[in-house]
Amino acid sequence: MILVAKPQLDEAEIEAVSDVLRSGMIAQGQRVADFEQAFAEYNGVEHAVAVNSGTAALHAALLAHGIGKGDEVITSPFSFIATANAVLFTGATPVFADIEPETFNIDPDLMAEKIGPRTKAIMPVHLYGHPAEMDAIREIAEDRHLLLIEDACQSHGATFGGKKVGSFGTGAFSFYPTKNMTTSEGGMLTTNSKDVAEKARMIRAHGSAQRYLHEMLGYNLRMTDICAAIGLVQLQKLDRYTVQRQQNAESLTKGLQDVENITCPTVRNGCGHVFHQYTVRTTRRDDLAAYLNDKGIGTGIHYPIPIHRQPYYQDLGYTDSMPISEKASREVLSLPVHPQLAEEDINHIISSIKEWSGKR
Ligand SMILES: *Cc1c(COP(=O)(O)O)cnc(C)c1O
């Protein structure tokens, strides 16, 4: 089976973890501090704060900006549920704006239409590794005096106009095993604000900067040195992985661009797409997925139900329709693009899809 996602782990990660275990210092310590510094440098930001998931990074980012009850945060309905749940967990209300059909990212014009008196922040998601339209989004944030929080959980190393995502506002990254780099579970908040970084560090540790002195409400969001040791190794390999993803994507597009009823992903001018997912569109999505499964090719649907259509959000009263997201959720199919694919795997994917297309 050609898997749709596969973490790239080898002896270097095993050694790094073993070193931590042998040291006996396995909670948050020096490795976490080193990982934060390396990740901040990589992204061109002043501060990085390590936490134990991407969800925690989003949650801490919102809290550190003072977002809570009575506030609205505008975000994309076409994302993993964590994006909106993090907003709900602060007591604030997620407000959805529909996406652009080409990039699957939030549409800046539709986003602007949703701004109201209670809007406090806008939170684009850089979905599949393709940056959201950050010129327009940053302009909206500046003109309307809104906080900018980026869900960069799928876009480690992606760039917009040469600048890394997660450095435009406050960024949140995930290191879940399927992401472009992993720490097993883990996450990171990135920011140029000293105040936001300090608050996030406190939120991570029950609201304390000094042991047993609790100045605000926080939680335990800490990363372990075991995870950070993996992250330090993975970060060094990230650019190499990204190039492999981009080359795989290029080969897939070359083979699939003329296939009937398949729309390949596009890359906008000025954008560095890191292909967390290589996601095609087809009106016969479920049929294609089943066909590829029979050929030993794993696929993924990101995402089959947009957030506003999830049962819990329906219970909350989200009744607006988001037609572009809803159509996308019926048509998207992610193909394997990870760095461990061999050339014959890619050829097998392409020829299988051509075969499928020819039969129907
Ligand atoms: C993975 C992901 C998250 C959550 O990250 P976890 O580490 O799984 O908590 C949030 N948003 C998006 C877009 C993601 O892909």
**H or E element in which residue 74 lies:** strand 72-75
Residue 163 has pLDDT above 90, yes or no: yes
Is the CB–ligand 1 distance for residue 176 below 6 Å?
yes
Claim to verify: residue 242 and residue 193 sit in the same structural domain: no
Is the CB–ligand 1 distance for residue 125 below 6 Å?
yes
CA dist 10 and 23 (Å) reads 21
**Cβ–Cβ under 8 Å, residues 288 and 282:** yes
Nearest CA to ligand 1 atom 6: 54
Residue 360 has pLDDT above 90, yes or no: no
CA dist 223 and 74 (Å) reads 28
Q: What are phi and psi of 258, to 5 degrees?
A: -100, 5
Amino acid at 216: M
Look over the chain and give the mean of its residue pLDDT values, rounded to a whole number: 97
232, 248, 278 — which closes off a domain?
A: 232
Structure tokens at 14: 């095993």
Residue 336 has pLDDT above 70, yes or no: yes
Claim to verify: residue 79 and residue 140 sit in the same structural domain: yes
Residue 212 has pLDDT above 90, yes or no: yes
Is the CB–ligand 1 distance for residue 82 below 6 Å?
yes
State the distance from the centre of ligand 1 to the C-alpha of 87, rounded, in angstroms. Answer: 13
217, 232, 247 — which closes off a domain?
A: 232
* Residue 1 belongs to a domain: no
Q: Which residues, at least 6 apart from 154, have a Cβ–Cβ distance to it below 8 Å?
A: 125, 126, 127, 128, 129, 174, 179, 180, 276, 277
* Residue 2 belongs to a domain: no
pLDDT, mean of residues 148-168 = 98
State the distance from the centre of ligand 1 to the C-alpha of 357, rounded, in angstroms. Answer: 33
Question: What CATH number is given to the structural domain containing 200?
Answer: 3.40.640.10
Residue 63 pLDDT: 98
Is the CB–ligand 1 distance for residue 187 below 6 Å?
yes
Question: What CATH number is given to the structural domain containing 271?
Answer: 3.90.1150.10
Kindly report, residue by residue over 306-315, the tens digit of the pLDDT: 999 999 999 9
Name the residue range of residue 76's domain. Answer: 11-232
Residue 188 pLDDT: 98
Is the CB–ligand 1 distance for residue 154 below 6 Å?
yes
Residue 231 has pLDDT above 80, yes or no: yes
C-alpha torsion sign, points 68, 72, 74, 76: positive
Is the CB–ligand 1 distance for residue 303 below 6 Å?
no
* Residue 167 belongs to a domain: yes
Residue 205 pLDDT: 97
Claim to verify: residue 33 and residue 166 sit in the same structural domain: yes
232, 266, 293 — which closes off a domain?
A: 232
pLDDT, mean of residues 107-112 = 98
Residue 82 has pLDDT above 80, yes or no: yes
Residue 359 pLDDT: 83
Report which ligand 1 atom has the smallest distance to the Cα of 175.
Answer: 7
**Cβ–Cβ under 8 Å, residues 93 and 72:** yes
CA dist 149 and 170 (Å) reads 5
Claim to verify: residue 114 and residue 211 sit in the same structural domain: yes
* Residue 23 belongs to a domain: yes
Task: Go through 105-139 and write b for each residue having 16 or more CB atoms within 10 A of its CB, e for each that does not.
Answer: bbbbebbbebbeeebbbbbbbbbbbbbbbbeebbe
Residue 230 pLDDT: 98
Kindly report, residue by residue over 17-76, the tens digit of the pLDDT: 999 999 999 999 999 999 999 999 999 999 999 999 999 999 999 999 999 999 999 999
Higher-pLDDT residue of 358, 122: 122
State the distance from the centre of ligand 1 to the C-alpha of 54, rounded, in angstroms. Answer: 5
State the distance from the centre of ligand 1 to the C-alpha of 80, rounded, in angstroms. Answer: 6
Residue 144 has pLDDT above 80, yes or no: yes
* Residue 4 belongs to a domain: no
Claim to verify: residue 147 and residue 175 sit in the same structural domain: yes
**Cβ–Cβ under 8 Å, residues 219 and 51:** no
Kindly report, residue by residue over 252-261, the tens digit of the pLDDT: 999 999 999 9
**Cβ–Cβ under 8 Å, residues 219 and 203:** yes
* Residue 5 belongs to a domain: no
State the distance from the centre of ligand 1 to the C-alpha of 170, rounded, in angstroms. Answer: 15
Claim to verify: residue 196 and residue 262 sit in the same structural domain: no
State the distance from the centre of ligand 1 to the C-alpha of 347, rounded, in angstroms. Answer: 30
